Structure 1
Amino acid sequence: MNPSATCTRCGLQDESFLHCIRDYEFSRSLWNHIGFNNLDFFSNLDVYDWLKLGATCSNDLLFSAGLWWSWRHRNLMCLNNETWSLSRISFHIRAMVETFSNCFSPASNEGSIDRYIKWNHDNYPCTILNVDGSCPDSPVRSGFGGIIINTFGHYLVGFSGFIQGSSDILLAELYAIYKGLLLAKDMNIDELVCYSDSLHSVNLIRGPHAKFHTHAVLIQDIKELLSQTNASLYHTLREGNQCADFFAKLGASSDADYLIHASTPDGVRDLLRNDAMRTFFLRE
């Protein structure tokens, strides 16, 4: 508890609930940035009425996520001396809205519905890293790979590698994420979304620390990389991860521990063109 009620961020007003979440200069800018710019939104001085107004409006999920991240950012500023950009917080807010929407979507009682997948299916406006692992059955080998593409689908760099003496697909998937994030960090990429089609890997990394897991050290290294950079990790389906699959198979078929491909290798250009054109593929 602070000995003073004064807001530690502005030093001018008491840190009431509404000042902290809504009326502080950065908080107000955040609400405006995600679309809450009606004067009535900021004029209500009763906390209960304001929360009720937001929770029952047409953008109720966006409002709920905005509340959470406005509070999160206040704590980041006050406790960690961190200030995030509006676009970065907005990115996390919209990702949370997507999670809310998926959780509360009613289950369909109809038969199976065709699902179409594309690269960067959530249309995140930043640099995209796609990664994958590969373990072909014959001969038994394992490799990893990935590709970094800008928001318009233009190739920046690719990488691939061979894992000596292993046929562990989870290790290949995790190693692809690790090497991809490390490469993006070395390239000083400002904002990054990493897609992996290994849901198991994504859940291990986003979940609590699993100190007794076989790959605990690698998982922790990935967690630390994510915490040190403006990068987010999401699951994608394999139909939206075809370029990364190409580089992972390239790694499994070679004997090079790690290669960076500054230019596009033969065979990947058609796949890259599909991504740039946002081509939809039927989910198998």
Structure 2
Amino acid sequence: MPSHGGRSLGVLYGLRIARECGVTKLLVESDSKTLIDALRGEASEQESGCNIIWRCLREAEIMQELSFVHVLREGNKVVDFLAREAFTHQVGFRALTEAPDEAQELIRHDQMGAAFVRYM
């Protein structure tokens, strides 16, 4: 059974929203190596045999340029913030036209290449 769980649904919804917004070039990052490997076609059949992965790949076909990239959790701070923020609002889709102030600070850190200590 694939171990990427709800993350693959997040990718699917993101790809659909990108398509609906007319995006043709996209970089998809995830801290789940198993998920990225499945999306790249580099996972075993058992790991990539998920219907959601198949649906993601069908959505991805319309993109002119698309990359699936594995990042460490520390490199995913903006996404982690937005995911936590989503739990503070009512259920349903909420599109943001600009990043919240707290996320903008994390984005600035990303742009500067700021390092974060990884605790294991």
**TM-score between both structures, scaled by the size of structure 1:** 0.36
Residues 130-179 of structure 1, C-alpha deviation per residue, up to 9 Å, x if partnerless?
xxxxxxxxxxxxxxxxxxxxxxxxxxxxxxxxxxxxxxx83321122112
Q: Does 1:205 align with 2:39?
A: yes
Structure-1 separation of matches of 2:108 and 2:101: 13
2:57 corresponds to which residue? 223
Equivalent residues, number:
114
The 5-angstrom pairing of residues 1-284 of structure 1 reads: 170-207=4-41, 213=49, 216-229=50-63, 230-284=65-119
Q: 1:212 to 1:234 in 2, by over 3 A?
A: closer
Structure-1 separation of matches of 2:89 and 2:116: 29
Residues 54-100 of structure 1, C-alpha deviation per residue, up to 9 Å, x if partnerless?
xxxxxxxxxxxxxxxxxxxxxxxxxxxxxxxxxxxxxxxxxxxxxxx
Flag structure 2 segments of 5+ consecutive residues without an equivalent: none
Structure-1 separation of matches of 2:51 and 2:14: 17
**TM-score between both structures, scaled by the size of structure 2:** 0.77
Q: 1:239: Cα distance to partner?
A: 1.2
Letter in 2 for 1:246: F
Aligned-partner SS, 1:194: strand
Q: 1:282 to 1:242 in 2, by over 3 A?
A: same
Structure that is richer in helix per residue: 2
CA RMSD of superposed structures (Å): 2.5
Structure-2 separation of matches of 1:195 and 1:255: 26
Structure-1 separation of matches of 2:7 and 2:25: 22
Structure that is richer in strand per residue: 1
Structure-1 separation of matches of 2:24 and 2:13: 17
Q: Confirm or deny: 8 A CA contact 1:194 1:234 kept in the other structure.
A: yes
Relative to structure 2, which stretch is displaced further, 189-198 or 241-250?
Answer: 189-198
Letter in 2 for 1:233: F
Q: 1:203: Cα distance to partner?
A: 2.1
Residues 10-47 of structure 1, C-alpha deviation per residue, up to 9 Å, x if partnerless?
xxxxxxxxxxxxxxxxxxxxxxxxxxxxxxxxxxxxxx
Letter in 1 for 2:111: A
Letter in 2 for 1:255: Q
Structure-1 separation of matches of 2:40 and 2:93: 26
Structure-2 separation of matches of 1:203 and 1:212: 8
Q: 1:278: Cα distance to partner?
A: 2.3
Percent of residue pairs bearing the same amino acid type: 25
Q: 1:227: Cα distance to partner?
A: 2.3
Structure-2 separation of matches of 1:258 and 1:225: 19
Flag structure 1 segments of 5+ consecutive residues without an equivalent: 1-168
Return the structure number with greater relative CO, CA threshold 8 A, min gap 6: 2
